Every structure is written in structure tokens, then in C-alpha cells.
Amino acid sequence: MTKFHILTLFPDMIEQGLSPSIIGRAARRGILCLHAVDIRDYTRDKHKKVDDYPYGGGAGMLMQAQPVYDAHRAVTEGRPVRTVYVTPQGMPFTQRMAEEFAKEEELVFLCGHYEGIDERVLEKIVTDQVSIGDYVLTGGELAAMVMIDAIARLIPGVLGNDSSAGEESFYNDLLEYPQYSRPEEWQGVRVPGVLLSGNHRQVAAWRLEQSRQRTADRRPDLYEKYQKKQCLIQRLSGEKRNNIHMMESLSRGRADILYTDFRGRDTAVLLYDRKAGICMMTALDRETGERMAELIPGDTRMLLVSEPFLRDILFKAGYALFGEFGQFLYTRKETLPVKHREIRTLSEGDIGYVSKWYGTEGPGLDDEYVRERISAGAMYGAFLEGRQVGFVGIHDEGSLGMLFVEESFRGRGIGASLEAWAVNCMLEKGWIPYGHVAEGNEASARLQERLGFYKAEKSFWWLEKVLAKDT
């Protein structure tokens, strides 16, 4: 459970500001914890004073170091907790920062008042200084609440509906399209006809075009980034089977481009999926491969590569082989028939079953991953008269996988139905389904082909970071 500690002189403001909101509701449901701490409780001054004049003169008062330090110590109890000082002198707060902070289990927000806080305590406890914009507020509380709201809504379960955190402003570098609700005509203005057509594909195309136009008009900086990604997708589409993982990461708005180099028809690319901590790479030659290896972010958990020489460079850079895979993609738009009737999205109560059959399977695939995938609504189970017999899922970087059917229930088309179900879910989101099948798993490879998947010519290697052993 993510914990937010807010060090403030106005704890009521935080409690009253957040408690009626969706974030407050999530706190009551035990999904997160909001802990407002009154810095004044930690003063050693008998008049409860927490401020004093600045040395060197100047207007106003400063918050003193000692009460802030003691409040921080009381909250963190020596744990190394990321501590954000909200200040107009900080780095501008962005969606990307919100995503990064949402990965933390515990965060401290320090709200300043008066003319600021004694620099010495900031140097001791603060890890990040962040501003919500180029304007000055009377204190940090409103800014902290803005940040907490943006971070907390990314925590699985907070919004209830898992798809709603994805498709909105700043997703995929485009601003959101305009929306309309009833009545169909209001003050003489009608809802655009396409939205009443019931044709999902046309609606999606219209929305995308509106998003593009809006972004080009209002945020040319974002639009340039979007166009850069579109150009790369276009280039990669020359070898769709080999590159579908990168095309999908880009078009689903998951990946940042850390490196590209084009030579003729060949492309070197390093993509980084921040949320999943995954890099995808393809290189022209050893030299570009080595250059790219230096750009891999430190918190990369796993890497997907499709050239043997790149794999070998990464072995030397401290990554270990997780496995060799074939890449399969489903390029048709038609949904697949699902013959088995009892299939549903898995929920918390199903974690035990999935972990039993999946969690034992290899390094890095422990309970935590299954738990996260289930709470993201990305796993589906097959049942026979109410008893679970198998499952399938969508991995955090977006590939289809984790297909499993208990041995005694195999050969009845349950696996095919599970996979068809997942394919249909992906198609509904406008994705091109793709997945990886371990080299040598002939039964699964045959199933992919039967369902209409194509296989990439290249082989793929998943690599994982080797964690330094404690000595």
C-alpha cells in the first residue's frame, strides 16, 4: 500500500482537501494511506514557534530546520524515503514524474510556508524539489495535493476503472479529443454525427484526428514528439513481423525513444518502457549496439533484443539470458471465436491459483508480478463448472502470454479459447496482438499458427538484470 506522508503547518487543509475526493475514498478503502503530519508538533519552542528571521536580512520569516527535521525523522524512522519539497524553485511537475513517483511505496511531501525553509535541513532530507508551475502560492499544501492527486490516480485500483488512466491528455503525447453527452442537441449545437453512428472504428479514427488537430494547435511541442514516434513506427513497419513489439510499444504510448539511427532500410532503435522497466533494442552493428548499451537506464529490469551480437554485448554489460523466444503477431482485425464458455477477468481472489502455476516458473516472475497483472485487469481465467482450470494474460510491456491450462484439461480447446479471448480484448483496445513463445514449445507455436498468428523471421532473447549478490 502506497503511503503519502505530508509534513505541513496546515494538516487540516490536506485532510479536508483530499478526504472528499476519489483519493480520499481510496484511502478509506485501504488502497493508499494519507498521513498529514503537523510540523508544529515537533517544535521544541515553548510558544510552539516554527519560524524565525533570515540571516542577512530580507522580508518575511523562514521555517526553521529543527522541527522540520524532527518531523521527517519521526515519519521515516531511518528508512530512506523519497522526500519531495514542493517549491516554485523546483523542477516542473509532469505526468512522467507522476508515473515515476507512483512506483514508490512511500513518499514524503514537505510543504513550505513563509519565505521558505532553512537550506540546511533541505540538504539533509530532500531528494526531489518540484514545482507545479511558474507562479507562487502562499504555501506548498495546494501544490502537494495537486501532485498527490496526479500520482495516486495511477495506483491500480484507485480509479476503479483500469482503462481510464490510459486514454486522456498526455497519453501517447496527444491531448484528449472533445467529448459530448446528452442531449444530442444543446443550444442549437449538435453532437458530431460520427459519435452517434455506433461504428467503433470510425469513432476511434475521428477521435484520433481531433486529438491530432488539438495537439498541433495548442501544444506544438507535444505534437513534434508525437510525429517523431509516428515516423519511427512507419519505418519499423517495413519489417512488421520483426518489429511489431516496438511498433506497438510506440503506438500504445508506452515507450520513449532513447536512440535511433537509420542506414538505408536498416534501423537501430533503443526504446524504453518506463512503466514496465523494459528496454527493446535492435541494432545495425556492434558499434551502434555498444553505443546503445551505454544508454540503457539504470532501472531497466528486462531487455528484449533480436540480434545475437546485441545479446552478447549485453551479456558483457551484466545482463543474463532469461530465454529464447519466437515472436508471433496477429494482424487481422476480426475477432476470434471463443468456444469455451466460462472465461472471465481474474480478480484478487484468483491470485493464489495463478501464482501456484505461474509463480514457480522462473526468476523475476514471483507473486508480485502476478498480483500486479491481476489488479491491472490484465489476466483472464478459464473455469469448468466454477473450478479454475487455466489462465492467460497480457504482460506489462503489452505482449500476450502466460497461457496455461492444467494438464488434465488439455486437448479440449480451452487454451485456444483463452488466447482468443485475450486477442479479442487487445483488438478492442485497437492494439495488434503479439506475443512470445519459448523456443522449443512446439505445441504453443502450433496453437499460434492455428489461431492465425504469423511468426517473425528473427529470434528474440529476453535478458534480465543480474542483481549483485549480497556479500
**What minimum distance in Å lies between the beta carbon of 14 and ligand ADE?**
14
Choose which of 136, 189, 443, 468 interacts with ligand ADE (CB under 6 A). 136
Per CB under 6 A, 140 contacts ligand ADE: yes
Per CB under 6 A, 133 contacts ligand ADE: yes
Inter-residue contact 124 to 94 (CB < 8 Å): no
Radius of gyration of the chain (CA): 25
# residues near ligand ADE by CB under 6 A: 11
Alpha-carbon span 58 to 19, nearest angstrom:
38
Write out the binding residues for ligand ADE, residues 92-131 only, by CB under 6 A.
Answer: 131
Q: Tell me which long-range contacts 246-252 makes (C-beta under 8 A, separation of at least 24).
A: 246/271, 246/280, 246/282, 247/432, 248/398, 248/431, 248/432, 248/434, 249/273, 249/280, 249/397, 249/398, 251/172, 252/172, 252/398, 252/431
Alpha-carbon span 180 to 455, nearest angstrom:
42
- At 84, list the grid cell: 519531495
Q: For ligand ADE, which is the closer residue by CB, 94 or 197?
A: 94
Per CB under 6 A, 68 contacts ligand ADE: no
Using alpha carbons, select from 276, 227, 224, 268 the residue that is nearest to residue 249. Answer: 276
Alpha-carbon span 351 to 369, nearest angstrom:
10
Angle at the Cα of 246 from the Cα atoms of 250 and 168, rounded to 5 degrees: 20
Q: For ligand ADE, which is the closer residue by CB, 88 or 253?
A: 88
Candidates 137-145, 193-201, 204-212, 313-321: pick the segment binding ligand ADE (CB under 6 A): 137-145
**What minimum distance in Å lies between the beta carbon of 89 and ligand ADE?**
9
DSSP state of 401: E
Per CB under 6 A, 137 contacts ligand ADE: yes
Alpha-carbon span 297 to 294, nearest angstrom:
8
| Residue nearest ligand ADE, Cβ-based | 143
Inter-residue contact 277 to 302 (CB < 8 Å): yes
Choose which of 46, 135, 264, 471 interacts with ligand ADE (CB under 6 A). 135
**What minimum distance in Å lies between the beta carbon of 150 and ligand ADE?**
13
Candidates 26-34, 132-140, 172-180, 312-320: pick the segment binding ligand ADE (CB under 6 A): 132-140
Per CB under 6 A, 399 contacts ligand ADE: no
Q: Facing residues of 437 across strands?
A: 326
Per CB under 6 A, 7 contacts ligand ADE: no
Candidates 32-40, 86-94, 211-219, 323-331: pick the segment binding ligand ADE (CB under 6 A): 86-94
Per CB under 6 A, 88 contacts ligand ADE: yes
Per CB under 6 A, 87 contacts ligand ADE: yes
Q: For ligand ADE, which is the closer residue by CB, 136 or 468?
A: 136
Angle at the Cα of 363 from the Cα atoms of 358 and 365, rounded to 5 degrees: 40
Q: For ligand ADE, which is the closer residue by CB, 86 or 426?
A: 86
Per CB under 6 A, 37 contacts ligand ADE: no
Per CB under 6 A, 86 contacts ligand ADE: yes
Inter-residue contact 91 to 98 (CB < 8 Å): no
Contact pattern from residue 142 through residue 181 relative to ligand ADE, giving x for each residue in contact according to CB under 6 A and a dash for the rest:
-x--------------------------------------
**What minimum distance in Å lies between the beta carbon of 287 and ligand ADE?**
44
**What minimum distance in Å lies between the beta carbon of 26 and ligand ADE?**
23
Alpha-carbon span 444 to 453, nearest angstrom:
11
Give the CA distances from residue 194 to residues 164, 190, 205, 380, in Å, rounded to whole numbers and listed in that order: 22, 11, 10, 33
Per CB under 6 A, 132 contacts ligand ADE: yes
Alpha-carbon span 151 to 93, nearest angstrom:
11
- Tell me the one-letter amino acid at 413: G
Angle at the Cα of 110 from the Cα atoms of 107 and 111, rounded to 5 degrees: 135
Note the residues at the interface with ligand ADE (CB under 6 A): 86-88, 131-133, 135-137, 140, 143
